Structure 1
Amino acid sequence: MTMTFVGADATARLAAMIKGIEEAEWTLQGHFVADITADAQQVSTGSDGGPVATLELSALTIEEW
């Protein structure tokens, strides 16, 4: 999954998302989230000159029966 944060506080929101991500409770209908990790992050400049922060996540899910 890729998440994008845009705006003056994009970098701060990216950092807040990463902090404690593995301990967070995740809800995914019909699945159990067994593990989740932040794989990559990047901060760039958007077309308006403001920061754009991108976060790539990987999740191990198990289908509930």
Structure 2
Amino acid sequence: SSTFFNEEPLFAFAQLYESDLEDLKHEVHQTKRLLERREKSGGDIPSNLLEFVVFLEPYKEVFH
């Protein structure tokens, strides 16, 4: 999606729920890097929300 990980609406939404924006900024950055590495190694990129959640499962202790 063209809006996936678009920081402006994501951070605006996070502010509504009083999320820790500093943590979120770091998590978004790291998640983008994970996806880039996956793509470079020839892995499939998640194409929907379910695939994305499954992709992040091994990192659940880091991204919470």
Calculate the TM-score normalised by the size of structure 1: 0.29
Larger radius of gyration: 1
Q: Which fold has the larger relative contact order, with Cα–Cα distance below 8 Å and residues 6 or more apart in sequence?
A: 1
> If each structure's strand is expressed as a fraction of its own residues, which one has the higher value?
1
> If each structure's helix is expressed as a fraction of its own residues, which one has the higher value?
2
Calculate the TM-score normalised by the size of structure 2: 0.29
